[in-house]
């Protein structure tokens, strides 16, 4: 198993640059399915496993994609399938976002039920309610959903019981070329919704009100491919802000947008962290001790659930007791058990966690149970005594591009130790003996040899 190894105790200093937002690029790539003519060119596309995965889904549907240097050109003029393959959809929930565009383009779609994941059951009833209101007939097979519409989707007034990000996006995409007007009430207001609406509007759609609770979409005949730059990732930015604060560091997070990070900035300031917002980024300067604060996750513009685990890690070094309440997902405290292994004092009662700051953190062998849980473990490891080995890093690599090299560049003592399988695979690709590849990895400082060897690569190679 590959691992990230962190030796705690370094103060982070310098500049770290944020990539394009995972949660924007995934719906935008799905929306590229709607372009009946021309190519879409998407810029600032992060090299993430989730992006690779949605591009594979699009390829199976007949979209030609060419990637170069952080951009992707997509040609979706002739689709060849209405079926999103099970083995790809099951890997990533966001692949469900192709349902709206496929219904709009082909009037038909077959897709696996995305199922739950570590953070909660994550139903899709609000997506389906929207499609049904627009005239789609929905049937359930063995683990699959099949939907079709007689003719074109029709505009409708849709009230979401929950301001779901994914349902708002899926319905917006389906409505873009529907007959008549669609109104989404209690729509999600996240910046990623606005980014998607901007992309759709550039393609020729008429979407108004994105970023507010009511979105109005006038259906148009067809959409064309256009160029688009994805917004910076506010969760990645927030994670580096917390990494800086936890180490008592001074870090400029280039690309971070203050308006997208309001509640994170507010909570850091309440704790006593100095925040300087500049035109193209945010500087975080922290001097310990920090004050304990209470945090409650809410849909945007409330405090983001995707920043809850990292904030909990920061509260471990604050003076006093903090309370964190998770209201968006029912099971998003999986990181607690792992943080406790590192010496954290946290008690969970239902959707509330009580954190007693100031406990001494020590390096341990821990496992990322989901993406942001993994980020929280890395943050805690930065200040723990000794060495922490974080497993389950495929979760982290789903959402953080170059996390290890970015943190190393601002002073963290952090390495990615590849799994024996990865070493063998890479050696084969490069036509190298595994031993020589190990030497190269060491030279690249991706992991010191003792770390690689301690991971039992050696016996596998023998």
Ligand X SMILES: CC(=O)N[C@H]1[C@@H](OP(=O)(O)OP(=O)(O)OC[C@H]2O[C@@H](n3ccc(=O)[nH]c3=O)[C@H](O)[C@@H]2O)O[C@H](CO)[C@@H](O)[C@@H]1O
Ligand Y SMILES: C=C(OP(=O)(O)O)C(=O)O
User: Which listed residue (31, 104, 109, 124) binds ligand X by CB under 6 A?
Assistant: 124
Burial class (CB in 10 A: 0-12, 13-18, 19+), 161: exposed
Instruction: Tell me whether residue 73 or residue 93 sits nearer to ligand X (CB atom).
Output: 93
Q: Residue 283 binds which entry of ligand Y, ligand X, none, with Cβ cut-offs from 5 to 8 Å by kind?
A: none
Report yes or no: 203 and 223 within 8 Å, Cβ to Cβ.
yes
Can you give the C-alpha Rg of the chain in angstroms? Answer: 23
Report yes or no: 231 and 28 within 8 Å, Cβ to Cβ.
no
Strand ranges of the sheet holding 39-43, from the earlier edge strand across to the other edge: 64-68, 71-75, 39-43, 227-229
263-292 residues in contact with ligand X (CB under 6 A) are: none
Q: Residue 246 binds which entry of ligand Y, ligand X, none, with Cβ cut-offs from 5 to 8 Å by kind?
A: none
Backbone angles phi, psi at 92, to 5 degrees: -150, 120
Q: Does 239 bind ligand X (CB under 6 A)?
A: no
Q: For residues 148 and 138, what is the distance between their CA atoms, to the nearest angstrom?
A: 7
Q: For residues 90 and 85, what is the distance between their CA atoms, to the nearest angstrom?
A: 9
Q: For residues 388 and 129, what is the distance between their CA atoms, to the nearest angstrom?
A: 45
Q: Does 453 bind ligand Y (CB under 6 A)?
A: no
Q: Which residues pair with 210 in a beta bridge?
A: 212
Tell me which stretch binds ligand X (CB under 6 A): 124-132, 282-290, 335-343, 378-386.
Answer: 124-132
User: Which listed residue (70, 107, 115, 120) binds ligand X by CB under 6 A?
Assistant: 120
Instruction: Tell me whether residue 219 or residue 399 sits nearer to ligand Y (CB atom).
Output: 399
Q: Does 94 bind ligand Y (CB under 6 A)?
A: yes
Residue stretches of the annotated binding site for phosphoenolpyruvate: 22-23
Q: For residues 110 and 144, what is the distance between their CA atoms, to the nearest angstrom?
A: 7
Tell me which stretch binds ligand X (CB under 6 A): 165-173, 274-282, 403-411, 413-421.
Answer: 165-173
Q: For residues 356 and 344, what is the distance between their CA atoms, to the nearest angstrom?
A: 8
Q: Does 236 bind ligand X (CB under 6 A)?
A: no
Q: Does 372 bind ligand Y (CB under 6 A)?
A: yes
Q: Does 172 bind ligand X (CB under 6 A)?
A: no
Q: How far is the CB of 310 from ligand X (least distance, A)?
A: 13
Active site residues: 117
Residue ranges in contact with ligand X by CB under 6 A: 23, 26, 93-94, 120, 122-127, 162, 164-167, 188, 192, 305-306, 328-329
């Amino acid at each position: 198993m590959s691992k990230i190894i962190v030796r705690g105790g370094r103060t982070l200093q310098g500049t770290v640059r944020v990539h394009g937002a995972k949660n924007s690029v995934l719906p935008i790539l799905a929306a590229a399915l709607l372009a009946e003519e021309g190519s879409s060119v998407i810029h600032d596309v992060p090299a993430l496993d989730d992006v690779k995965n949605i591009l594979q889904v699009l390829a199976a549907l007949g979209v030609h994609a060419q990637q170069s240097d952080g951009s992707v050109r997509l040609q979706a003029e002739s689709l060849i399938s209405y079926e999103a393959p099970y083995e790809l959809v099951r890997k990533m929930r966001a692949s469900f976002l192709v349902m709206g565009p496929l219904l709009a383009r082909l009037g038909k779609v077959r897709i696996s039920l995305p199922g739950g994941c570590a953070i909660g059951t994550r139903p899709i009833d609000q997506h389906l309610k929207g499609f049904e209101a627009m005239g789609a007939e929905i049937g359930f097979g063995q683990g699959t959903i099949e939907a079709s519409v007689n003719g074109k989707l029709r505009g409708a007034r849709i009230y979401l019981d929950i301001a779901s990000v994914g349902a708002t996006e899926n319905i917006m995409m389906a409505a873009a070329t529907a007959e008549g007007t669609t109104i989404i009430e209690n729509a999600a207001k996240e910046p990623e919704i606005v980014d998607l609406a901007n992309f759709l509007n550039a393609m020729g759609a008429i979407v108004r009100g994105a970023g507010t609770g009511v979105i109005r979409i006038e259906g148009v005949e067809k959409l064309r491919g256009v160029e688009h730059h994805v917004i910076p990732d506010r969760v990645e930015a927030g994670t580096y802000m917390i990494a800086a604060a936890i180490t008592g560091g001074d870090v400029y997070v280039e690309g971070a947008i203050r308006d997208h990070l309001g509640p994170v900035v507010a909570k850091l300031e309440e704790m006593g962290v100095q925040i300087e917002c500049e035109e193209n980024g945010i500087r975080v300067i922290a001097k310990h001790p920090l004050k304990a604060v209470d945090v409650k996750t809410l849909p945007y513009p409330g405090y983001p659930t995707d920043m809850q685990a990292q904030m909990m890690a920061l509260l471990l070094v604050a003076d006093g007791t903090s309370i964190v309440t998770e209201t968006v997902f029912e099971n998003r405290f999986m990181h607690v058990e792992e943080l406790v292994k590192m010496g954290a004092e946290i008690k969970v009662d239902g959707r509330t966690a009580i954190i007693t700051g100031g406990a001494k953190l020590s390096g341990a062998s821990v496992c990322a149970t989901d993406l942001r849980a993994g980020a929280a473990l890395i943050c805690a490891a930065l200040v723990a005594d000794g060495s922490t080995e974080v497993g389950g890093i495929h979760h982290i690599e789903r959402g953080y591009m170059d996390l290890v090299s970015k943190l190393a560049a601002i002073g963290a003592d952090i390495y990615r130790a590849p799994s024996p399988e990865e070493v063998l695979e890479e050696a084969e690709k490069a036509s190298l003996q595994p031993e020589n590849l190990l030497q190269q990895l060491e030279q690249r400082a991706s992991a010191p040899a003792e770390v690689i060897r301690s991971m039992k690569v050696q016996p596998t190679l023998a």
